Homo-oligomer: A and B are copies of this chain.
């Protein structure tokens, strides 16, 4: 399990210290941008591709509700359109460009900025965390993601097929998009639960050589998810304290539900972090235990044979005068003595509990 994606680390894009606030710099490798608008008014539903600032302004000001969906930042032209044609504050535009920002809510009059972080499961790299930026205005919502991750597809589908969401305003659309992003954490959290279960079984059974690395990478993922969800929760609490437009009291019941989901995810992430620490303790204990078993094996072996080897060494000496060597029953008597010593030591080990049943065959302590 690995974290990838621009939002997973702090090492994102950022203008150099001391630069003018509100500026942004985009790497040449940025994903080319694609701007689509979904406009509906009652029963009417229209989808457009937007090619310039005028078309953008027209789409935003169309009657009804408009969802402008931007994918990829390209060379930043689209960001200039957003700033100029839609009247979004330059600081908000800079937050869209200079990823990763922490999840937050900022009220710029009737252009509210919502930053969230989406978690996509990526077959190769594990988990990709990407910034999602939303601008909520009274009649339109702008969403910006850099790389497509199909979290918005079900929302788009609901708009196309169900009348109920089309009867709600732009504030509900902002909620629906944010909720899709937040609910996208659940499958990841469940995957972590399964990984932890596997790791626990492995630690109590026979831990493999990559166990520690896997345990540590789960810990990293949990630290990232916790940081992200914690800020998301703060942002939602702030929305619930807001009063005016565009995210008014009318949709608070829905945002409260989203807030509740962040709490559920946080609860789970915190429990899993605690379990991860518990697993690390468990692993350390079981390694110590195993070391003890190893040492007992060595000690039993050495303690039994070292005195016997000494004894046979004694009778390998070449002294002229060693009467025992000439006794008739010297050899069998020595064997008897050596067997007695070995038996005595074995009895002593058993009394100390070192020779009970082999704990390796049991779960747990082996």
Which A residues are closer than 8 A to B by beta carbons?
A: 9-11, 14, 16-21, 89, 91, 101-102, 104, 106, 151-155, 158, 162, 164-165, 176, 179-181, 183-184, 186-187, 189-190, 193-194, 200, 204, 206-214, 216, 219-220, 223-224, 227, 231, 253-254, 256-257, 260, 263-264, 267-268, 270-271, 274-275, 278-292, 294-299, 301-303, 305-310, 312-322, 324-326, 328-331, 334, 352-353, 359-360, 362-366
From A21, A220, A284, name the one whose CB has the most chain B CB atoms within 10 angstroms: A21
Given A10-B268, A287-B285, A288-B288, A200 contacting B212 (CB threshold 8 A): no
Write the chain B residue with the least CB distance to A297.
B299
Query: Which of B18, B152, B275, B326 contacts A220, CB < 8 Å?
Result: B275
In angstroms, Cα B213 to Cα A279, docked, is 10
Selected A-B contacts with CB under 8 Å, 29 pairs? A14-B183, A16-B154, A17-B181, A17-B184, A18-B151, A18-B179, A91-B257, A102-B264, A204-B216, A208-B365, A209-B363, A210-B363, A216-B278, A219-B278, A227-B270, A288-B291, A294-B296, A295-B298, A302-B306, A305-B306, A305-B307, A305-B309, A306-B306, A309-B310, A312-B316, A315-B318, A316-B316, A317-B334, A319-B334
Write the chain B residue with the least CB distance to A228.
B267
In the complex, are the beta carbons of B193 and A10 less than 8 A apart?
Answer: yes
Given A193-B9, A209-B364, A288 contacting B297 (CB threshold 8 A): no
In the complex, are the beta carbons of B297 and A303 less than 8 A apart?
Answer: yes
In the complex, are the beta carbons of A204 and B212 less than 8 A apart?
Answer: yes
Copies in the complex: 5
Write the chain B residue with the least CB distance to A17.
B183
Write the chain B residue with the least CB distance to A360.
B352
In the complex, are the beta carbons of A285 and B280 less than 8 A apart?
Answer: yes
In the complex, are the beta carbons of B275 and A363 less than 8 A apart?
Answer: no
Which chain B residues lie closer than 8 Å to A302 at the CB level? Answer: 298, 301-302, 306
Which chain B residues lie closer than 8 Å to A285 at the CB level? Answer: 212, 280, 283-284, 287
In the complex, are the beta carbons of A216 and B231 less than 8 A apart?
Answer: no
From A9, A263, A365, A366, name the one whose CB has the most chain B CB atoms within 10 angstroms: A365
CB distance from A198 to the nearest CB of B (A): 14
In angstroms, Cα B17 to Cα A181, docked, is 7
In the complex, are the beta carbons of B317 and A321 less than 8 A apart?
Answer: no
In the complex, are the beta carbons of A231 and B315 less than 8 A apart?
Answer: no
In the complex, are the beta carbons of B253 and A223 less than 8 A apart?
Answer: no
In angstroms, Cα B301 to Cα A17, docked, is 58
